[in-house]
Amino acid sequence: MYFLVDARKSVNAGFKAGFDREGVSSFSLSPEEFTSWIESASRSDLDAVQGFLLGDFDERARCASAIRRQSRAPIIALADSRSLEQTLVLFDAGIDDVLPKPVHVREILARAEAIWRRVNGATEAAPDGVGAPAADPEGASPPRPERLRVFFDGRDPEIDGVPVSLPRRERHILEFLVRNRGRRVTKTQLFNGVYGVYSDGVEESVVEGHVSKLRKKLAQLLGHDPIEAKRYIGYTYVG
């Protein structure tokens, strides 16, 4: 889920429409509403946010500082016009990137994922964003490259260089699990990350069906199931 913050409803609506076209959940608030939300949001709500997108408003440096106290998710600011002085102020406030408008949502997704990898310390990040395992300290040969590549920017994943066409929800579930590789992700966390914390009309149980279909497809193509599932506990991408 991506959080959009701007005082102008038209800006929030425009970017929300762009995220919707990519099948990515998003939620928007005015700066005043967002300041109240970030100070009181639960840890589970904050963990569901994959990135914060801040429009051009006066208090966004302060807003960015409030985000950084609560979350490690990427913060990207939009600039209506170029200003070196303002860009330096934003970077100093903890913003990770400043993008001049217009900008395509797919570029925002790609930049946010690159920031996520750096901030969260991916080791020897592979082209797909999956951290490559370190070589054996005793000098053993490094493991083979990942067969599965995930791009996080709207493209379908690839297995052995061949694109794998997946429904959007299954692709976003795979991306979320790969981003959290090795970590146990609960059904609620997966639902919030893919559908959004404030989604209406969608039952949390729908995640189970999507994960089941995704696991069958990947197991058939890879020859093994890369997603470990434990009832009542959650899911782990093990590769």
Using CB atoms within 10 Å of the CB of residue 163, give its burial: 0 to 12 exposed, 13 to 18 middle, 19+ buried. exposed
Over residues 109-138, the mean pLDDT reads 60
CA separation for the pair 15, 17 (Å, rounded): 5
Q: Higher-confidence residue: 150 or 45?
A: 150
Position 201 confidence tier, pLDDT thresholds 50, 70, 90? low
* 18-65 tens-digit pLDDT: 998 888 888 899 999 998 888 888 887 888 888 999 999 988 888 998
Q: Report the chain's mean pLDDT, rounded to a whole number.
A: 84
Give the global pTM: 0.67
pLDDT at 161: 93
pLDDT at 206: 86
Position 198 confidence tier, pLDDT thresholds 50, 70, 90? low
Dihedral angle over CA of 104, 110, 111, 113, nearest 10: 140
pLDDT at 199: 63
CA separation for the pair 198, 16 (Å, rounded): 14
For residue 127, pLDDT beyond 80: no
Residue 190 phi/psi, 5-degree rounding, is: -65, -45
Over residues 6-14, the mean pLDDT reads 91
For residue 143, pLDDT beyond 50: no
Position 132 confidence tier, pLDDT thresholds 50, 70, 90? very low
Closest by CA to 145, choosing from 165, 125, 170, is 125
* 82-106 tens-digit pLDDT: 889 888 989 998 899 999 999 999 9
CA angle 98, 101, 104 (to 5 degrees): 95
For residue 137, pLDDT beyond 60: no
pLDDT at 47: 83
Q: Print the SS3 string covering the chain.
A: CEEEECCCHHHHHHHHHHHHHCCCCEEEECHHHHHHHHHHCCHHHHHCCCEEEECCCCCHHHHHHHHHHHCCCCEEEEECCCCHHHHHHHHHCCCCEEEECCCCHHHHHHHHHHHHHHHCCCCCECCCCCECCCCCCCCCCCCCCCCEECCCCCCCCEECCEECCCCHHHHHHHHHHHHCCCCCECHHHHHHHHHCCCCCCCCCCHHHHHHHHHHHHHHHHHCCCCEEEECCCEEEECC
pLDDT at 187: 87
Using CB atoms within 10 Å of the CB of residue 149, give its burial: 0 to 12 exposed, 13 to 18 middle, 19+ buried. buried
